[in-house]
Structure 1
Amino acid sequence: MNRNIFTRHKESMRYIFLNFILLLFISTTFASNTQEFQLKNGLKLIVREDHRAPVVLSSIWYKVGSSYEHNGETGISHMLEHMMFKGTKEFGSGVFNHMVGDSGGDNNANTARDFTVYYETVAPKKLDMTFQLEADRMQHLLLNEKAFQNERKVVMEERRMRVDDDPQSVTYERFNAAAFVNNPYHHPVIGWMTDIEHYTIHDLQNWYHQFYAPNNAVIIVIGDVNADKVYSEVKKYFNNIKPSVIPVLKPRQEIHALGEKDIIVNIPAQLPWLVMGYHVPAHSYTLLLIAQILSGGDSARLSDDLIREHAIAVEADANYSLYHLHGTQFIFSGTPTPKYSVLQLKNAFFDEVKRLHTTLVTQDELNRAKAQLIASRIYQNDSLMKQMFSLGEPEMVGLSWRESDQFAAKIQLVTPEDIRADAQKYFVKNNLTVAELIPK
């Protein structure tokens, strides 16, 4: 072996080993500072003590999102998220935001495919207030017809701004609808406009009573707190809330694809765009590493080959996320340079896929991708918000928050042979959906 190559290989191995040891130490430290509690009504509480700053992030996660919805009610989870700030008998409309803001804190919410989460960042002495507010609206939300009609207009405008007026968002929405035929990810989180226009206040009330219950929720608290004290405060406000019978969702199994699916989106746009995806399973650390090898920074393959060396693309990305309740997509996307067409960019992506099929990733390249992912996970611990999502997302898809503490160990297990095997298994034409945005 060339001495320089041998030296670089040793340095690569040393770098990933040091990162692995560092993440292992940090994960062990955070895991030892994380405790789980269960209330008698089924509510789960996860508390992570982090005393680096006098602040606390409190959140409540509900196991409901767009993947729980069916045709005719798409977007109702997101609509209810908006209505959750319209008040209760005790705390009227807008009072929630004012109380958190007046205390020096801030709050927000997010609806996703598999969950809805509400969170507040406050001083530790105000944590009790957030529990009082969240427990109240878990039970006593007032769903007023007039407020609902006004908020419906807000959501419709949000959809117009985020999707309908954005050519790439329209294309991605149509891509998902084609890729997921009988899969809960078929429709957008915000919902189809026709559904937003037509569901009623009674639909929202039914959705609220079905899914907003202690036995369908997880509270995650991270910050400058004492776990046992937090548990006592949570019991004070939530322990007497009655559990509900949570609906058992009917399984929707994706139908077997019979060939590549191609769609053309021909609308006014400044630039063409391509998105293509392979149907893949959730929770795959091998696929996460493939995405990192392809698109993890300036030294990654797509940047190196398609953007810098051959100038085929203005942008080129590969994306895969771990946590889903259902099968998902490994996504390639990009915009060709003026000298090249969408078809040529598509073929360039296929060349990258063929390379994964036929040639083993080198150990150095794999080590670099592992080191980047591990380093990124280390840096996430500087943010209470990122810690919250790393604990909450696994909980929402049938896993445990402890999954985040096993990240480095599971990344380390992946081999070059695993990379090639998964590429050969999943990156095939019968498993592919392609959407092209062609400016009108």
Structure 2
Amino acid sequence: MAGMALSLCLILAAALQPGLARAPGPPARPGPLLLRLRRLEEQFLRLQEVTLNHLQSIASNYNISYNIDGRFQALAEQAEVADAARAALGAELARLATAGRRLRRRLKKLEETVGALSPPHTQLTHPAAALEAGTKPQGLPDAARSTPSPRRPKTRRWQQHRQEDGQRLLGDARPGGAPGEDEESPGDVAAAPQSMAAVLPTVTTAPQEQPPGPPAPVPTAPACRTGSVLLFPNTSAEHGAVLGLGPHRGLRAVSLCAWLATPARHLGALLSYTTGEGHSELAMHGPGGDRPGSARFILGDGQFRELPVAPLLDGKWHHLCLTWSSGQGQYRFYMDRRLLAAGSGFQQGYEIPTGGSLVLGRGQDGPNMDMGTGEVFVGHLAGLALWRRALLPGEVARMVTGLWLPRGPLLTLADASLQGGVRRVACPCLQHCL
């Protein structure tokens, strides 16, 4: 063992001796093996860097896919919530539809009940007219006597209230009260409570159910103190009445009301308003032809609305009132205080210019007029007035019953100048003029 160690030392000494013996100089060039090892080390470092980058990209892609799964799960939960809300909304809409159907049925029953109660109400509305005519219903008192009432106390109290209302209405129907009634003598006034007592028990009878029908104008007693009556005798185009609308500011609302009676089969040209330049701004006339029961309400540049006027064509007195306002374009057509037609959006924002002429009974030539020469009005016209505002339904009703006339009309029949064969007829009450 010692010999082997000695030999190894000698070999090392022999190997180191040439290097020790040489003088110091520049370092020797590395050998091929060392260069190869260095290149392998550099390649290993580059491989390590590429591998690290690849691992980092794999990790980031994994995070993205994980986030997408979470988003999909959140969207699925939101879709479930939306389906539940949609189902709840559908159930609520079905409940509202059911409630709406029930409400319509209740309203229909209420309309039938109100329609069945309207005849007694009409009798109480004009008791003085029934007394003046000397007519007294006979069928209803007999039915009231023959039909026992199951709730007698309430019926008695109701009868007492109705009798008090009848006494009050009778006081209003005396001279100086509602128009349409002639003055009564003291004996008639003294006998009126007994006649009223005979009429009022008819109200205590429960009315029978009647099927609902189309609305009909409420019968009213013709008014008195309406002024003079204009008579348009025939279809001559020369007949007419002209009213001048002075230089007021433009009309952004208008109401036109009148009493009329016509025996014709169609209304004809009731009125026509044109400006000084000949432009038609306001008109109401029947279209003629195969539609005798309708009339056109024309406003501005030829725009019109159809109005039902068939109840007017019976030769009796009727009260009509037409209102329009520019703000919402609302128009209303009343006949005997009953609303027959209404709408909105008609010439909204329009203003009727003043300074023109209003012709009654016939049309005027103009670019916006579409009327034949034979379309003229035939009949009686009374109480016509024009306001620069839209009258309220209560004002129209009080005007029909003769209790009140709205103040401040722009035009009345007293301002009319007659043409052709139109003439004024003195008439204290309208029922005496036919």
TM-score range, shorter chain: under 0.3
Determine which structure has more spread, i.e. the larger CA radius of gyration. 2
Q: Which structure: greater helix fraction?
A: 1
| TM-score, length-scaled by structure 2 | 0.24
| TM-score, length-scaled by structure 1 | 0.24
